[in-house]
Chains A and B, each alone.
Chain A
Amino acid sequence: MNNILNVSPSPHQQSSETTRKLMFGVVIALLPALAASVYYFGIGAIIVTLTSVLACVACEFLIQKYILKTKTSISDGSAVVTGLLLAFNVPSNLPVLIIVIGAVISIGVAKMTFGGLGNNPFNPALVGRVFLLISFPVQMTSWPVPSGFKTGYTDAVTGATPLGIISEGVKNGESIAVLMDKVPSHMQLFYGYMGGSMGEVAAAALILGGIFMIWRKIITWHIPVAVLASAALFTGILWMADPATYADPLFHLLTGGMMLGAIFMATDYVTSPMTPKGMIIYGTGIGVITVLIRTWGAYPEGVSFAILIMNAFVPLLNMYIKPRRFGKEVMNG
């Protein structure tokens, strides 16, 4: 016998699924939404996405190579996903420098300081987004009006988001029925014809990506369904109680970051619970907090904050929500 044999404990087979494949599965799922944002916002969407992805990957590479002096792990694709999600969460007319700052915060502060992939308690892309929202409120809330490649980049014509219009209008005492005429129709909202962050507008494309991820078993249905169902239920109750001050549930689901958040941001592996029961609690929390912020908070939009708040509860959910142990309850004697 001349070969030196490999010896390892069982199992001696591994599935073909890898972290890299999962991450690139998410990237593929994000492509329809990316195409939609290019369709609506033109060149700005391309510039923002490229800047964000490159900045995130470069940031991770530089930190690992020169500060931590460890093996670089950019090939696992997680930085690419963070970069894409960060881009999806900012307006398409955001200047390059601000995006780079966001990327540095996302990767440098929210991810690498905690020990890199797998250790960050908060969703990196959302931390970056919220940081930018607080630091650059003007740039982060000047939403380009979707008009394809005519939109331009930093010189884009801007307007308010549908949620902003409603929120502002309700404060001024206008009724929902009147305000509804000022915002795009539900069908337009579904296809994404509205102002907003570049990736969040096209609900149809995001749902397509979500279905792809569930089909490829990258995510399970629990979190998206819990988020959307709880938000719909909560807004539905409010709407039934007083249709004059509260918008209908479908409007809430189709506007703002609801779809993007429910399908892509909340389902981030690292920052979401691991058991189905935990996922449902987590998703419900996000849905409820989002509606609370949207209806009574200072911001017209609350998905990012809701997800970050629920991220903080994930370790707790992982600790207390356990899967049902086999043979725990004896059902027969």
Chain B
Amino acid sequence: MESSPPPRSATRNDPPHKGEGKKRRRVLPGLPLSLGITLFYVGLIVVLPLGALVFKAASLGPEDYWRIVSSARAVASYRVTVLSALAATAFNLVFGLALAWVLVRYSFPGKRLVDAIVDLPFALPTAVAGIALTTLFAPNGWFGSALAETGVKVAYTPLGIMVAMSFTSLPFIVRTVQPVLEDLDPTLEEAAQTLGGSDRSIFLRGILPLLMPALLAGLSLSFARSLGEFGAIIFIAGNQPMSTEITALLAFIRLEEYDYQAAAAIASVLLIAAFLMLAATNILQARALRYTARG
């Protein structure tokens, strides 16, 4: 009782080296081939182009680089991109959370269809989403004409950019929150209910904190996607410099003007933003895993 018993294997009379031999892992074949293919592919397809872009942007020199990335038009594009992405992500926080909640907690006719259609924004090509949303929200469209009576303009305004971003990034929040919500321990809620907590306080103080890591991970994915989105936005945005021109489009326009240095510099800003979001997402996801693993 007071001391741990000797390991069972020691009582056996097998020679110790034989046991060790059994424990040693057999090494599977195929490492050089599979790793070789992987490194070659990643190097050629992912690392080389991004390296070339960084190299091109770095070859500008700090003064030229700063002049391009801090030009009024570029700064205006960051502002509209970031603000629209924030608004879209905030909208998706509410709608995505409600959608995940409804899909997990309630049953109603057509629920499976709703669950499946949530993936449409991922499956539908962005250009198709772009022309469909534009047609809906254009002044003569189904929604646009109805909204025009109330004086709200969506198409060709920052609001349109927000709509396109919300559409393309919605599934991120639903699909990160949904599994966590499904596996929520019902006994926690029961305990809180027996203690007399109201639904609202149990949700805000009990359930929401448990969802928070997944929710934050979903939000950062959604925000990152919105920052880089192009296809769905350019149709609905109006693309006016200084007001409805997103950063990705500005990079594209500089290319079409054969201003490769400016294109490289502006693309590198998007690249840096993407890496920052990637780091944030990885940290949040690692935290989400740790949080649920603690049980």
Task: Tell me if chain B binds chain A.
Answer: no
Question: B residues touching A (Cβ–Cβ < 8 Å)?
Answer: none
